[in-house]
Amino acid sequence: MANGIYKKKHWKGVSLKITVPSHDELRSPRPLAVAIKWHPPDDPWIKLNTDGAFLEASDKAGGGDIIRDHTGKVLSAFASPLEAHSALEAELLAIQLGLELALEFNRPIWIESDAQQVVQLLNSTRWGPAHTSRVVARILLLNRQRVVRLTYTPREGNRAGDLLAKMGIDSQNYCRMNAHTMPRHLAAITRMEALGIPNIRVQHDDKE
C-alpha cells in the first residue's frame, strides 16, 4: 500500500455495513417562524380585537377588547371579569361587550378574534350550544345596528386582546381605558402593531 494502490488482499476479512436512518429521523419536524401582522381597517371602519379566557380549574373567566381606527390609534379598550362557564361562552360574552362599546363610535365595525370556533359559529346560521344561545342572539341583534364583519386571526395577531382577557380574569370589576390610561405593556403592543411590526408565530412543520 506504500504506492497508494489497493489490492484484493487488502480487503480480505473486511465487511462493509451501511446504517440507514429510520423513517422518523429522515422526517423529523422542523420549527418554522411565521410573521403575523395586525392589519388596520380601512377608513371609516374601526377594528375590534376581542378575546375571552376561561380557567376551568377555578371556574373564572375574563374578557378584553380593544378598538382602533385606520391609523392604529386606540379609541377605547376594556378588561372585565365574566360570568362564563366555558371558553366558548367567555369568547362570546367578550364580543358582546366589545360590540356594545364599539357602537358608541357610530362607524362600521370589523371584529377580529383568535377563536376560530366562535368566528365560524357567528358567521353561520347556527345558534350553538344551548348555554350560549342567548349570548349569540344578543350579538346578532347588536350586529343589525351597524355594518359588521367578523374574521379570524391567529393568537399572534391578537396580542392586545389576549393581554386584556388575562387582565379581565384578575380584575374585580369592568375597567374601561383609553390610549392615555392603558397599561404600558398594552401601549407597547399597540404601538408596535401600528408601525406594522409583525409578531412571530413558531410552528412545527412535519410534512417535509
For the stretch 106-125, pLDDT in tens is 999 999 999 999 999 999 98
Check: pTM over 0.85? Answer yes or no. no
Three-state DSSP class for 8? Answer: helix
Domains and CATH numbers, the chain: 40-205 (3.30.420.10)
Q: Which three cell numbers stand for residue 52?
A: 375571552
Mean pLDDT computed over every residue of the chain: 89
Listed residue (197, 208, 195) closest to 32, CA to CA = 208
Q: In the predicted model, is pLDDT for residue 7 greater than 80? A: no
Q: What percent of the chain has pLDDT over 70?
A: 83
Q: In the predicted model, is pLDDT for residue 101 greater than 90? A: yes
CA distance 64 to 51: 6
Q: What percent of the chain has pLDDT over 90?
A: 76
Give me the mean pLDDT over the 68-80 stretch.
Answer: 98
Q: How many CB atoms lie under 10 A from the CB of residue 14?
A: 6
CB 42 within 8 A of CB 156: no
Q: In the chain, what is the greatest distance between 2 CA atoms, to the nearest angstrom?
A: 94
pLDDT band for position 13 (cuts 50, 70, 90): low
Q: Which three cell numbers stand for residue 28?
A: 423529523
Residue, of 20 and 191, whose pLDDT is higher: 191
CB 77 within 8 A of CB 67: yes
Q: In the predicted model, is pLDDT for residue 12 greater than 80? A: no
pLDDT of residue 199: 87
> CB-hemisphere CA count at 13 Å for 13?
2
Q: In the predicted model, is pLDDT for residue 40 greater than 60? A: yes
pLDDT band for position 201 (cuts 50, 70, 90): confident
CB 134 within 8 A of CB 104: no
The full DSSP string for 143-182 is HTTS-EEEEE--GGGGHHHHHHHHHHHH-SS-EEE-TTTS
pLDDT of residue 140: 94
> Chain centroid to CA 204: how far?
17
Handedness of CA 86, 91, 92, 96 (dihedral sign): positive
Q: In the predicted model, is pLDDT for residue 45 greater than 80? A: yes
CA distance 153 to 206: 22
